[in-house]
Amino acid sequence: MRAAAVSDALLEIENYSGAFRNEDGGLVPVLHQVSYRLKTGKITAVVGETGSGKSLTALSVLGIQPPTFVRSSGRILFRSVDLLTLDARGLRAIRGSEISMVFQDARAALNPVFTVGRQLADVHRLHHGGSQRAAMKRAVEALSRVSIPEPERRARQYPHEYSGGMAQRAMIAMAALICQPSLLILDEPTTGLDVTIQSDIMELIVELTRSRGLTTCLITHDLGVVAETCDEVVVMNAGRVVETGSAEAIFTRPADPYTQRLLSASQMLEAA
Ligand SMILES: Nc1ncnc2c1ncn2[C@@H]1O[C@H](COP(=O)(O)OP(=O)(O)OP(=O)(O)O)[C@@H](O)[C@H]1O
Ligand SMILES: [Mg+2]
């Protein structure tokens, strides 16, 4: 009686497959029956080498996959609603307010011509209404909450005045605090940052997930990050999910040869 059971997953991707249409009109398959679940209140890592389909699957959750991607099968259930059946309006209602995402290149997601505070305030008003003044107050609070020093002054600065780590914090503030989603997806949130800043950002993500009761999906290459912070792990390779399980099980008893290779490669990196 599957329908009657209360699911412990906020999001369930089921048999999601698709291909890119190339210039000749041919189809190049890239996702093959991708299935994974994001358990409510947990941090799930999606790991795998470059090109394995991690971002494409996550973008599909928000309905922002590239237009040349053609789905051939699958469902993406959020609170038991198939997101793939929603029209543009239905998706807009969910994007940001229910599901928000920090993109792979966070700094590029900030608009260079507006101050960071203004951008946070605008998104706040979009989702929650209210005056510009009240929204700016929320923006400064959000910057402070993600440990940006002197948040009032920083709110008046432009993205180019932010370091990479600070821009990432600002994007996390936008996605997790201003939008107030139930599901937060972060695509490579620490890639390209210094190691100490990486671990600060990870701490922030864990702390926000726990304190706000978020369900978090963390896409990453970095298995070191996963071991320390994540509850569940999904391993992808070449457009397929090859293994899923608790972080503890994946790290101590990886069943799939690809996961074993990924783990031993990362241990070699750590030892180096
Ligand atoms: N716009 C696009 N047009 C054609 N192919 C694409 C496009 N975007 C992605 N792909 C292909 O789809 C596959 C999955 O890409 P995806 O970006 O999801 O990988 P990823 O796991 O996120 O990799 P990375 O770790 O490098 O971010 C890859 O083979 C990629 O080349
Ligand atoms: Mg990616």
pLDDT single digits (tens) 196-229: 888 889 999 999 999 999 999 999 988 888 888 9
pLDDT value of residue 220:
92
Domains of the chain: 9-271 (3.40.50.300)
- The mean pLDDT value for 52-77 works out to 96
Q: What is the pLDDT of residue 158?
A: 96
Mean pLDDT of the chain: 92
Cβ–ligand 1 distance for 31 under 6 Å, the answer no
Task: Compute the average pLDDT of residues 247-257.
Answer: 93
pLDDT in tens, 125-172: 999 999 999 999 999 999 999 999 999 999 999 999 999 899 999 999
pLDDT at res. 265: 84
Q: Which residue has the least CA distance to atom 5 on ligand 1?
A: 20
* Residue 75 pLDDT > 70: yes
Q: Which of the four pLDDT bands, split at 50, 70 and 90, describes residue 28? A: very high
CA distance 264 to 139: 43
Ligand 1 pocket test target in 56, 190, 235 with most atoms within 8 Å of CB: 56
Q: Point out the least confidently predicted range of 86-90, 199-203, 240-244.
A: 199-203
pTM of the model: 0.93
Among 30, 34, 220, the mutation site with the greatest number of ligand 1 atoms within 8 A of its Cβ is 30
Verify whether ligand 1 is closer than 6 Å to residue 44 (CB atom): no
Who surrounds ion ligand 2 at CB < 5 A? 55
DSSP the chain: -TTTSPPSEEEEEEEEEEEEE-TTS-EEEEEEEEEEEEETT-EEEEE--TTSSHHHHHHHHTT-S-TTEEEEEEEEEETTEEGGG--HHHHHHHBTTTEEEE-SSHHHHS-TTS-HHHHHHHHHHHHH---HHHHHHHHHHHHHHTT-SSHHHHHTS-GGGS-HHHHHHHHHIIIIIIS--SEEEEESTTTTS-HHHHHHHHHHHHHHHHHHT-EEEEEES-HHHHHHH-SEEEEEETTEEEEEEEHHHHHHS--SHHHHHHHHHHHHHHH-
Our mutation pick for probing the ligand 1 site, out of 13, 17, 20, counting the most ligand atoms within 8 A of Cβ, is: 20
